[in-house]
Chain A
Amino acid sequence: MRPFEGVNVLDFTWVGVGPLTVNYLNYYGPTTIKVESSQRPDPHRFTSPFKGGVIGPETSYYFNHAHPTKCLDITLNMNHPKAREIAKRLVAWADIVAESFTPGTMEKWGLDYENLKEIKPDIIMLRTCMQGQTGPSAKQPGLGLVLVALSGYVEIMGWPDRPPCGFSSAFTDFIAPLFNAVSVMAALDYRRRTGKGMCLDISQHEAVLHCIGPLILDSVVNRREPTRSGNRLPNAAPHGMYRCKGEDRWCAIAVFTDEEWKSFCRVVGTPAWTKDPKFQTLLGRKQNEDELDGFVEEWTRERSPEEVMPSMQAAGVGAGVAENVKDMNEDPQLKHYRLFQALEHPYFGNEPYYFPPGFTLSKAPYERARPPLLGEYNEYVYTKLLGIPDEEFVQLMKEGVFD
């Protein structure tokens, strides 16, 4: 029996954090209904770039990236009063209801926690949004692309002589789901033991602040604020990304201990500068770090990162190619863990980029699936799962309930 087999999930979430949370359940066998509406589809479905440049609900790469797991997609037009009645029947079916709207949306539909509880007393409701369900900024919309700023992450990304450079993606969208997933799984376990459901209000902002806890405490206790240091750390040198042979090729090298320094010197062939007394101690290397980095780069620049990494690693020095997407495709370690799995998709063909969880369980394999098409399971969910008679189903469809 799979870890979440028999668990029913009613998933109203969209865009990044919600789907990326529910995935962690979906990898392991629940029945999940993803509720959309053709009037109001998951905005990710219309986020470019699109397969072959064809704009449409089934061709967004962003939507695919966020949906590598099995779910039953339905469309339900929540602005229709009859749709809200059907939603309530789905709530009665569900063990978990997840939503990631701007606060107030579920209330508008009569689907706040109090209502859900009346329908299903032991329901678990997961509510994830930028800044939580309450408070003066609860209703401010946002995206992970900008939440990184509010969370202190942008401030510490970049070079000391420049303003912060920020992130290339909605970075917190990949962290907040982990807090959500742990919490909802804990709530499910709690319910199994006690019979009690609950509502979880998880502010993405409040969650991701935990990852920079020491910086917060440093501010509270010592009134010190973090600064940007590029790739440098106080306790390592050399420590950075070094230019290698080729166009925009780089390799990370990290030397923390005396032993690593000795090994590093051997790998670079012990040229004269490695014997310079000022580089023999960490403090000396830190004091002369610009000069040191110059020497390191003189050596790396003559070599490809694919040469630098294994020669350093073989000597026990931390090193890693700054991989671009082509390198990631060829990375033997990522291949070993099957980062990229190809699955057939009616619009993408044999699309090769469906991601796994970041962990592997020895006895509970995960399962990937291509993303669902909009409303793909309407008939199954409404007629089979809810048992709506065929004639009524057709009638409701005509009335636009399933738009």
Chain B
Amino acid sequence: MLSPYRILDLTNERGFICGKVLADLGADVIKIEKPGGDPARSIGPFYHDIPDPEKSLYWFAFNTNKRGITLDIDTVDGKEIFKRLTKNSDIVIESFDPGVMDRLGLGYSALSQVNPRVIVTSITGFGQTGPYKHYKAPDIVVWALSGNAYVTGDPDRAPVMSSFPFSYIVGGALQAAVGTMVALHHRERTGEGQHVDASAQLSLSWPVSAEPYAMWIEEGTIMKRQGRIWKRPQVLAGKKTFWVATPMVYQCKDGDINFVIMAGLGYGMSTNALSKWVESEGMASETTKGIDWCKMEWSQVNQEMVDGVVKDFSRFFMAHTKAELLEGASKRGIMLYPVLRPKDIRELNQLKSRDYWVKVDHPELETSITYHGPFLKTTESFDTVCRRAPLIGEHNEEIYLRELGLSKEELLTLKQMNVI
């Protein structure tokens, strides 16, 4: 879909997925690494647990469909070559700290002189400007300052972040890909490139979601983390706000599942369908049998009702496995999903039936590895072959000799100077 576009990808692990998404859509993304390989190649896990720059599964996962070259942009020759590459590229993606590209002489203003149509996309923790721009911004710091930490975790313990750090992946880097596409449309209309400034903090303020703001505006209440429980506020005109607690995560026979009692138009059918199922197995109390969740809004629900129903549901879940619950929920139109690990996800019939999983050849490892497949299906047939992530300098000759027009001697010299 994006095959005419060439993208130079200077990112570290904070930005990999931005270029990956565009590469998956067909753009020619060239990952530029330091000679010797990108430092992120040392991030585990590794193929068969062998730490090796060519065996990082982290690298594999986020760099499929990219080509790879080595180039030291700290050197004068390296900068010059980077500018020559920029001349024939549409987009540059980078995730250095703010100001680094400018100091290298490769900031947006310098690159736009070389190619006025170029789009430069920057991914950082806090953005290119503002009082925190130079703050160190590891995932946990972004998670904290975006407001997510405070509302996530068990109430009797510290705020918590995911054990797989993904503040940049789900936040800044994916937003950067959207911003890049907007800039591409802008360019098609105006002919001019621009600078895209993506901030992980700003991006991640979205999932804090509506409720904390609502309660702050309504009555100055600060909402706290509640672990597996959702304490939903009921604000009613002229009445004191009260809170009804309903679980979001329940225990079942062999693990946990996510299910939320929902009421009202568009949501209530799911709760009703579960009530019916529980009833059909003789496990529903009069409370559960007596409630039509479509006929009421959350504000009409009280804790006693919820507790009665939760008791039945909890007992029912404990009598069933995750697989049974998923199958039954899927059949009955219930909004219930089990808490899965990757190996369970790999077993899902739904994904298998959609041919989600793809085998990717890794000739150097003399094997092929099953990957998560494309994130979209289209009616237009595109080349959806998934190519493994590039090896260190894999496309040096292809790009420098055939596409950029360096001579073999020049390439050799640059290699000896450790520029390439």
Interface contact tally, CB-CB below 8 A: 542
For residues 219 through 261 of chain B, which have their beta carbon under 8 Å from a beta carbon of chain A? 222-228, 230, 232-239, 241, 248-249, 251, 256-260
The dominant DSSP class at the A interface is mixed
Most central of B186, B264, B333 by chain A CB within 10 Å? B186
Q: Do A166 and B228 touch (CB < 8 A)? A: yes
Q: Please report the C-alpha to C-alpha distance between residue A46 and residue B296 in the assembled complex, in whole angstroms.
A: 11
Size of the chain A interface, CB-CB below 8 angstroms: 166
Of B76-84, B204-212, B276-284, B400-408, the one with at least 4 CB within 8 A of chain A: B204-212
B47 within 8 A of A: yes
Interfacial chain B residues near A186, Cβ < 8 Å: 1-2, 25-26, 181
A257 nearest CB across to chain B (Å): 10
A167 within 8 A of B: yes
Interfacial chain A residues near B349, Cβ < 8 Å: 135-137
Q: Do B181 and A185 touch (CB < 8 A)? A: yes
B159 within 8 A of A: yes
Pick the contact of B178 from A239, A313, A359 — CB < 8 Å? A359
Q: Please report the C-alpha to C-alpha distance between residue A288 and residue B7 in the assembled complex, in whole angstroms.
A: 45
A200 within 8 A of B: yes
Q: Do B208 and A149 touch (CB < 8 A)? A: no
10 smallest A-B Cβ distances: which pairs? Answer: A358-B203, A213-B61, A43-B266, A359-B179, A358-B175, A336-B130, A219-B342, A61-B214, A149-B258, A169-B209
Q: Do B201 and A333 touch (CB < 8 A)? A: yes
Interfacial chain B residues near A54, Cβ < 8 Å: 237
Q: Do B174 and A146 touch (CB < 8 A)? A: no
Q: Do B225 and A48 touch (CB < 8 A)? A: no
A65 within 8 A of B: yes
Closest residue on chain A to residue B209 by CB atoms = A169
Q: Please report the C-alpha to C-alpha distance between residue A55 and residue B263 in the assembled complex, in whole angstroms.
A: 14
B178 nearest CB across to chain A (Å): 5
Q: Please report the C-alpha to C-alpha distance between residue A221 and residue B362 in the assembled complex, in whole angstroms.
A: 12
B145 within 8 A of A: yes
Q: Do A146 and B258 touch (CB < 8 A)? A: yes
B192 within 8 A of A: yes
Pick the contact of B153 from A158, A215, A361 — CB < 8 Å? A158
A141 within 8 A of B: yes
B136 within 8 A of A: yes
Interfacial chain B residues near A202, Cβ < 8 Å: 375-377
Pick the contact of A134 from B181, B256, B353 — CB < 8 Å? B353
Pick the contact of A334 from B151, B202, B249, B256 — CB < 8 Å? B202
Of A83-91, A348-356, A375-383, A385-393, the one with at least 4 CB within 8 A of chain B: A348-356
Extra contacts, 11 of them, besides A169-B208, A216-B345, A241-B140 (Cβ < 8 A), are A137-B350, A142-B335, A146-B260, A199-B379, A224-B45, A225-B342, A225-B343, A252-B149, A325-B215, A359-B199, A361-B186
